[in-house]
Structure 1
Amino acid sequence: MTNRTLSALIFTLLLVFESSLPAMAIVQASGQDDPLLTIGGKSVDKDELIYMLSKGTKSEPGTTGMSRDEFDENLDLFINYKLKVREAEAQGLDQTEEFLREFESFRENLKAPFLIRNSLEEGELRKAYSRMQEIIRASHILLKFPPNASKEDSLIVLRMALKIEDEIKNGSSINDLAVEYSDDPSAQVNKGDLGYFTALQMVQPFEDAAYALQAGQVSDPVLTNFGYHIIKVQDRQPNPGQVHVSHILVRIDENAPTGEDIAKRKVADIYNEIQKENTIWEDIVKNYSEDPASSQKGGILPWFSVGSMIPEFEMAAFSLTEVGEVSPPVRTRYGYHILRLEDKRPVESFEALEESIRSRILRDSRSTMIQSQVMAIQKSRYNFDENEENVAKLRAELANTTKAGFSQALTAKGLTSDQLFLLQGKSYIAEDLADYMLEVEISLPSKSSVFDAWYDRFVAAVLNEAEESDLAANNKEYRMLLKEYRDGILLFSLMNEEVWQKGLLDSTAQRAYFEKNIQNYQWKGRSNAYIVKVLDLTQLDAARKALKDKPLSEELIASFESSYQSSNSLAYQTETGLIEHSEHPVLSKVDLNESYQELETNGHLHIVLMGEISPAGPKKFEETRGLVIRDYQEYLDESLVESLRKKYPISINPKAKEETFIALNQ
C-alpha cells in the first residue's frame, strides 16, 4: 500500500462514516507553541492536520484554496479520526502483538526511502543506467597474485603491472603482451580482447576504470579480487540495445584432420542454398543446423544484449540491420554460424530496468561498497568515536573464542566493562556486544574471528538505530508519515471491531435495526415484466411472432431465449424480473394494464410483456440485507463517534486553528 493510498483510505473511511457533528468547546490559545487541539487531555499538533490535508485535498491549478466551510468540515473529520485513535489506544490496541508486528513491517518499508543507504543506492542505480547507454570494447592483461601472497609478493606483481603499462604506452601491442604475460586463460585464444561489454557485466573496479578511459587510453594497474589488470579501451559506442536472432550451426570435428575444411564447405553450401529464391529458412535450419537446443524451433535464440554472447557471434548479430537479413558464415569456437535477424529493440527505460539493476548491484561488490559508505557517513554524522586501544585488546584476548563462549570469556577475563566506542555521547561496552550476540540469530563468515565478525555487525546495528532515531526526531516528513500509518492501523483495528465486524456478523441486531427503520426499506410499485430490446430490426417480426398474444411465463421466456441465442445471439438484449416500474427507463413509459406493448425509447424499439403487478410495500429482510448491513454499520459508526465525543473532552486552540487555515491556503 502506498503512502498516498493510506492517506486517501483514512479520509475515505471518515467521509463514509461521519455525518452530523455536535459542537465542541473552544479554548483560548495560551502561547505560540500550543497544540491545535486536545482530545481527552492528549494534544494534537497543527502540523499533523496540515500534513494530512495537504496530501488529501490538493487543489486544481488555477483554483482558489480551501474555503472556511471546507476547512471546518475537514477539521471535524480529523477530530473524529483522532477520537477513534484515542479510543484504540485506551483499549490497548497499540500494544497487541498483531499491531506491533504490522506496524514494524510498515516502519521497515516507510523508512527505506529516507535512509542514507537509499540515496547511495539510487546514485549507483542511476550511474549504472547511465553507463548502460554505452558499450565499451577493451583488452586487458591480468596478473594474479601467487597463493598465500605476502605483502612483498603483491609489490612484485604491482611492479610487473607498472612495467607492462609503460611498454603499452610506449607503443607495444597489449594483445601481443597479453599472450606473453596475462594470467587470464582466455588470453591465449582472444589475446586479451574482451569484446564489447556494458555496465554490470564486469566487476566494479574493472568497470569503473574502463568507463573512465577514452578509446585508445590505457589504465594504471587496477586491483580486483582476481589480481592487477592493465586495461586498454579500444572503442566506445552507443548501446544498440537487444537483438533477437535465429541461427544455423555447423560444428567442426576436432578429431578429423580435415574437420575444419569439411565444416567450411558445408556451411558455404548451406549459405548458397539460403540465397535461392523460395527457400524457407525454418526448413533449412531443421535439416542442417547442429544446435539441438534450437534446430527444431527455427534456430530461434533468446533476446540478448552486448556482453552476453561470445564476441564473434555478438558482433555478427548486432551488425545485421534489417529484419530477415542473413549474415555470411561466422566462425566461433563452437563452429560456423549463419545468423538471421528476427528483431531489435533499444535499451529499456530506467523504470523498466530499475529492479533488475538494483538486484544485480546488491549481489556484487557494490553492495559492500555502499555499506562502507553508509557507515562512514553515519559515523561522521553521529559522532562515532572508537576506543581503538580497547578494541585491539579485545580482538587479541578473544581471538580464539566461540560465539557460545563469548560472554563467559568476557567475564572470566574481566573485560565486560571495556569501552568499545562512543556514539552521540553514549558509551557502548563489551557487555553490550555480548548481549547483542545473544539476541541476534545470523550466520556470519567463518574466515574472520568471532569478535571481528560480530563487532562489525554490532557497530552497523547501533549506527542504523541512531539513524532511525534521528529520522523520527528530526525528519518531519518521515515522522508524520510514520504517525499516519500508526494511527491508520489503529483506526482500522477499532473500526473493524466496533463497526464492520459487529455490523456484518450480528444478524439479531441487523433485524432489530431493520424493523426499527422499516420505513427506509420499502418497495415502490413493481411489475413482473419481460423486456426485449430489439438490436436488429430485421428480427422484429420473429420476436413479435414468438411473444405477441401470449401470457408471460417462465416457459415462454426460456423458449424465446433458447431460440434466439442459438440462431442470432446479437439480435436482442433482454431483461426480466419483478421490477420497480416508476424509475425504470422503459417500464415507466408503458401502460401497466396492457400485456403486450411496443415502444421506442433511447433510440431502440422495445417489446414489453407485462405480468402480475405488485403494489408498494415493505421489503423482506432477506431482500435488502446488504443495504441493511451498510446502514447498520453507518449507525454503529455514528453511535461510536457520539459516545467518544462524550467520553473525551475536546478543546480547540483558535489561534492554532487560524494558523492552520492560513498555512493550507498559502
Structure 2
Amino acid sequence: MNIKYFYITLLVLAFSCSPKTTIKPEDNQAKGPIPLLTIGNEDIFADEFLHILSKNRSFQTKEEQISKKEFEDNFDLFVNFKLKVKEAENEGLDEVDEFQKEFSMFKEDLIKPFLIKNSLQEGELRKAYNRMQEVVKASHILLQFPMNANGDDSLAVFRMAEKLKSDSENGANFNELAVEYSEDPSVKDNKGSLGYFTALQMVYQFEDAAYRLQPGQISDPILTEYGYHIIKLEDRKPNPGEILVSHILVRTQTNDPVVEERALRKVGDIYTELQKSESIWEEVCNMYSEDMGTKNTGGKLPWIGIGSVIPEFEKVAFNLSEIGEISTPVKTPYGYHIIRLEDKKPIPSFDDMEEMIKSKILRDSRSSLIKSQVSAIQKSRYSFDENDQLLDSMRNIFKNNQKQTAIEQIANKPWKEEMIISIQGVQKPVSEFIKFINEDSQIVRVGTKEYFTAWYDKFVEVNLNEAEEKDLEANNKDYQLILKEYRDGILLFSLMNHKVWQKALEDSLGQVAFFEENRDKYQWDDRFEALIVKMGKDSRKDAVRRFLADKKYQDNLETRLENTFLNDDPLAFTIQNNIFEIGSHPVLSRATTDKSFQELNIDGKTHFVILGNKIPAGPKKFEETRGKVIQDYQEHLDKSMIATLKENYIIRINEEEKNRVYDIVTKN
C-alpha cells in the first residue's frame, strides 16, 4: 500500500484503529431504519458511525466502553468527516477517472473475504492443515490407460482395478499384486509402497482417498491424471514435524560388487572413527564425505519433513531422538549415509503456514475443484439458465470454422440477439458473448478445451462473478459498510489534498500572511550555543574529558574534536553542535547555565557539554519555523473549511437515535 492509501485509511480511522466491526446493530422498528443525522438531503445511519467507532472493541464490557466526552468528540469528528465527503461529492470528485480507478482497485481487495471462493478456499486451507497433523503410509497399484483410449478401454481398466481390489480383500498379497500389475515405474524397487506422506505431497484425489482410509483398508479405484489407483493404507500416526540433519555420504556404483565392498568398509571405518571421544564431526565430514555440496559445511542439509526425502534416509533420520545422535550407516540409491540429528521442530501454526498452503493449493487440482464448486453455488444462488440449443449451434459453427469466420457467421444469424445465458432474470444475448470474445480483455487458457468452450466458460464465470459482487453490494451489510468506509476515505483524501495539504504547501504568500498574523505563536525560548558529546565507548571517556575540560565554545571545536579522536575510533562518541533551546532539550535541560564545561550522566551514558553564548528569548524568523507554520496553516485551512461547510449545509441530528448509540458505547 503506498503512502496515499495509508493516509486514506488514517483519515477514515481518525478515531479508530481496526478493520472489523464487532457491535451487533439493534433491530429497528418495522417502519425502517431511522437516520442518525441528515446532511443536506442525505440520511446517515447509526450503523456507519458504529462501524467506524467499533475498532478493536465490542463495548460489551466496562473496559471497552468510552466516556461521554470521548463519545461527543468522536461524534463531532464523524459529522465533520461526513461533511467533507458530502462536499467532495458535490464537487464531482467521485466522478473523475482517478477516483474510479482507485476505488475499483480497493474493491478488488475489499471484496475477497466476502466471496464464495474465499470461504471455500479457507475450508480447503484448514482441511489441508488439519491433515498435516498426521502422516499416513500407503501402498498402491496404478493402472494406466492405453494410448488413444476410448470408452471401452477406460471401462476395462476400471473393471481390472475393481478385480485387483477384490483379490487383495480376499487374501491376495497387495504388494505382490503391485509387482505383477502396477504400471508405476518405481514398483520394481518399492513393491508399491510409497512410505509415509502428508497433505499436499500427492495429487489431491489420491491424498483425499488415502486420508479417508483406516489402516488395513483398501480403496475403491481412484481416478487421477495418471490412471486408476487402488490404495492400501498401512499406517497413520502424528506428524513428527521437521528435523535438521547433517550427513556423511560414501557413494557406490550399481552392480559393481568390488566398489560396493570398498564403500561398505570405508563407511564402517568412518563410523568407528566417529565413536572416538576426540573425533570432531565437521572434520571427519570434510575429510571423507563424498557429497561435494555439503562436506565443507559439516554435511548440513535443509530442514526435512515426512515425505520430502527418499524413504530409506527418512526412516533412519526420523528415528534419531537426541540432538547430536549419530545413526549407523544406512544404504540408499546414492550410497551409504551416516546421519546426525542437529535440531527438530513441530509443525508450525496455521498462521505461519497459511501462505505456503495457499500457494500449493492454487497450483494443484484443488484450485479447479474450488472453481467448479464456486460456479455450482453461484449458478444455484443466482438462478442461472442457459440456451442449450443455441449453445450447440454456436459450438458446431466454431468447430467447423476459423475463429473470425465463425464470429462473422454468428453475427449474421437471426438468433444473434436471443438469450444465451440468464442470471437472476437478466438475459445476456449471443451478441454480447461475441463482443466479449472480440474485446479479448480476459485471460483465457484454452488448453485441452475447444476454443468456443474455453471462451464460453470464461464468459459465464465473469458474469456470475459480477452477479455475486452486485448481490454483496445490495445485501451484505458488512461489505456495504467497509466499501463505503473506503469510498468515503478516498473522497476525503482527495478533498483534503486539494483544499488543505497541497494548498498549504504551495501557497507561499498564504504561509507568510498566516505567519505575520500569528507571530506571537512563533517565539524562541532562551537558547545557548552548545556542543554536546555523547560517549559511545567509556574507554575513551577520560581522554575526551581531559581534552574538553579547559576548552571554551568556538566554531572549530567540533572539527578539532573529530580529528583528535574519531579518525582512529569513529564509534567513540557522537556530537551535536548548534544553537538549542535549553529548556526543551533532553540534555541541556539538565545542565546549569553558569558553567561552560559540564559532565552529565543521562540514561547510563556520559555526556560532555560545552556552553557558549546565551541568546535571549525572542521572535522566530519565518525561515526558522516554516515547517511549523505550514503545519499550523494546514490546520487553519481545515478548520476554516469545516466552518464554511457547516454554514453551507443544513445538519439535522436525531437526538433520540444519538442517545440510543450513546447508551450502547458509553460507561453508565
Work out the CA distance in 1 between the residues paired with 2:652 and 2:333: 83
- How far has the Cα of 1:538 moved from its partner? 11
Asked if structure 1 preserves the Cα contact closer than 8 Å seen for 2:12 and 2:486, the reply is no
Asked if structure 1 preserves the Cα contact closer than 8 Å seen for 2:83 and 2:645, the reply is yes
1:645 aligns with 2:654: no
Partner of 1:340: 340
CA separation of 1:533 and 1:181: change in aligned 2, threshold 3 A: closer
Is 587-596 or 615-624 further displaced after alignment?
587-596
Amino acid at match of 2:619: P
Partner of 1:284: 284
Amino acid at match of 2:313: F
Where 1:390 maps in the other structure, the secondary structure is: helix
1:564-643 counterparts in 2 under 5 A?
Answer: 576-582=577-583, 592=593, 595=596, 609-643=610-644
CA separation of 1:212 and 1:515: change in aligned 2, threshold 3 A: same
Partner of 2:465: 464
Partner of 1:77: 77
Q: Encode CA deviations 1:509-534: one digit per residue, 9 max, x unaligned.
A: 22222122111111122232456789
1:136-155 counterparts in 2 under 5 A?
Answer: 136-155=136-155
Amino acid at match of 1:144: Q
Asked if structure 1 preserves the Cα contact closer than 8 Å seen for 2:9 and 2:486, the reply is no
1:434 aligns with 2:437: no
Amino acid at match of 2:657: A
Where 1:228 maps in the other structure, the secondary structure is: strand
Work out the CA distance in 1 between the residues paired with 2:451 and 2:603: 82
1:202-601 counterparts in 2 under 5 A?
Answer: 202-254=202-254, 256=256, 258-439=258-439, 440-530=441-531, 546-547=547-548, 550-556=551-557, 558-559=559-560, 576-582=577-583, 592=593, 595=596
CA separation of 1:321 and 1:390: change in aligned 2, threshold 3 A: same
Work out the CA distance in 2 between the residues paired with 1:38 and 1:421: 42
Asked if structure 2 preserves the Cα contact closer than 8 Å seen for 1:14 and 1:81, the reply is no
Work out the CA distance in 2 between the residues paired with 1:180 and 1:600: 85
Work out the CA distance in 1 between the residues paired with 2:536 and 2:401: 87
Q: Encode CA deviations 1:597-653: one digit per residue, 9 max, x unaligned.
A: 789999999876543222221111121111111111111111222222233332333
Q: Gaps (5+ residues) in structure 2? A: 17-30
Where 1:398 maps in the other structure, the secondary structure is: helix
Asked if structure 2 preserves the Cα contact closer than 8 Å seen for 1:161 and 1:221, the reply is yes
Q: Encode CA deviations 1:246-279: one digit per residue, 9 max, x unaligned.
A: 2222222236453332332232232223223322
Work out the CA distance in 2 between the residues paired with 1:540 and 1:260: 69
Q: Encode CA deviations 1:386-427: one digit per residue, 9 max, x unaligned.
A: 333333343334333444344322123333133223221222
Asked if structure 1 preserves the Cα contact closer than 8 Å seen for 2:142 and 2:229, the reply is yes
- How far has the Cα of 1:504 moved from its partner? 1.9
Work out the CA distance in 2 between the residues paired with 1:532 and 1:555: 15
- How far has the Cα of 1:586 moved from its partner? 7.1
- How far has the Cα of 1:158 moved from its partner? 1.2
CA separation of 1:228 and 1:564: change in aligned 2, threshold 3 A: same
Partner of 1:21: none
Partner of 1:135: 135
CA separation of 1:328 and 1:549: change in aligned 2, threshold 3 A: closer
Work out the CA distance in 1 between the residues paired with 2:43 and 2:86: 11
- How far has the Cα of 1:106 moved from its partner? 0.9
Is 224-233 or 505-514 further displaced after alignment?
505-514
- How far has the Cα of 1:155 moved from its partner? 1.3
Is 380-389 or 605-614 further displaced after alignment?
605-614
Amino acid at match of 2:416: T
TM-score, normalisation: structure 1:
0.89
Is 467-476 or 411-420 further displaced after alignment?
411-420
Partner of 1:163: 163
Asked if structure 2 preserves the Cα contact closer than 8 Å seen for 1:403 and 1:437, the reply is no
Work out the CA distance in 2 between the residues paired with 1:640 and 1:351: 45
Asked if structure 2 preserves the Cα contact closer than 8 Å seen for 1:320 and 1:327, the reply is yes
TM-score, normalisation: structure 2:
0.89
CA separation of 1:599 and 1:282: change in aligned 2, threshold 3 A: closer
Work out the CA distance in 1 between the residues paired with 2:494 and 2:561: 52
Is 361-370 or 36-45 further displaced after alignment?
36-45
CA separation of 1:276 and 1:432: change in aligned 2, threshold 3 A: same
Work out the CA distance in 2 between the residues paired with 1:437 and 1:144: 38
- How far has the Cα of 1:595 moved from its partner? 4.9
Work out the CA distance in 2 between the residues paired with 1:301 and 1:453: 45
Amino acid at match of 1:639: S
Work out the CA distance in 2 between the residues paired with 1:462 and 1:293: 53
- How far has the Cα of 1:341 moved from its partner? 1.6
- How far has the Cα of 1:594 moved from its partner? 5.6
Amino acid at match of 1:344: K
- How far has the Cα of 1:233 moved from its partner? 0.9
Work out the CA distance in 2 between the residues paired with 1:56 and 1:221: 51
Q: Encode CA deviations 1:467-490: one digit per residue, 9 max, x unaligned.
A: 111111111010000010011011
Partner of 1:181: 181
Work out the CA distance in 2 between the residues paired with 1:270 and 1:586: 65
Partner of 2:91: 91
Q: Encode CA deviations 1:24-77: one digit per residue, 9 max, x unaligned.
A: xxxxxxx86453333232332232112212237765942484454433332221
Partner of 1:26: none
Is 253-262 or 630-639 further displaced after alignment?
253-262
Is 617-626 or 384-393 further displaced after alignment?
384-393
Q: Encode CA deviations 1:214-263: one digit per residue, 9 max, x unaligned.
A: 11111111111111111111111111111222222222223645333233
Percent identity of equivalent pairs: 51
Asked if structure 2 preserves the Cα contact closer than 8 Å seen for 1:129 and 1:199, the reply is yes
Amino acid at match of 1:616: A
Where 2:328 maps in the other structure, the secondary structure is: coil
Work out the CA distance in 1 between the residues paired with 2:643 and 2:276: 88
CA separation of 1:276 and 1:64: change in aligned 2, threshold 3 A: closer
Work out the CA distance in 2 between the residues paired with 1:65 and 1:276: 69
Where 1:247 maps in the other structure, the secondary structure is: strand
Is 206-215 or 546-555 further displaced after alignment?
546-555
- How far has the Cα of 1:590 moved from its partner? 6.8
Where 2:195 maps in the other structure, the secondary structure is: strand
CA separation of 1:253 and 1:569: change in aligned 2, threshold 3 A: closer
CA separation of 1:570 and 1:308: change in aligned 2, threshold 3 A: closer
Where 2:412 maps in the other structure, the secondary structure is: helix
Where 2:481 maps in the other structure, the secondary structure is: helix
CA separation of 1:173 and 1:548: change in aligned 2, threshold 3 A: closer
Asked if structure 1 preserves the Cα contact closer than 8 Å seen for 2:138 and 2:196, the reply is yes
Asked if structure 2 preserves the Cα contact closer than 8 Å seen for 1:218 and 1:233, the reply is yes
- How far has the Cα of 1:296 moved from its partner? 2.9
Asked if structure 2 preserves the Cα contact closer than 8 Å seen for 1:251 and 1:335, the reply is yes
Partner of 1:18: none
CA separation of 1:573 and 1:247: change in aligned 2, threshold 3 A: closer
CA separation of 1:12 and 1:526: change in aligned 2, threshold 3 A: farther
Partner of 2:25: none
Where 1:99 maps in the other structure, the secondary structure is: helix
Is 249-258 or 520-529 further displaced after alignment?
249-258
Asked if structure 2 preserves the Cα contact closer than 8 Å seen for 1:264 and 1:336, the reply is yes
Work out the CA distance in 2 between the residues paired with 1:284 and 1:544: 55
Asked if structure 2 preserves the Cα contact closer than 8 Å seen for 1:133 and 1:239, the reply is yes
Amino acid at match of 1:615: P
Q: Encode CA deviations 1:562-613: one digit per residue, 9 max, x unaligned.
A: 6576899999887653333455677668775665678999999987654322
Q: Gaps (5+ residues) in structure 1? A: 16-30
CA separation of 1:32 and 1:324: change in aligned 2, threshold 3 A: closer
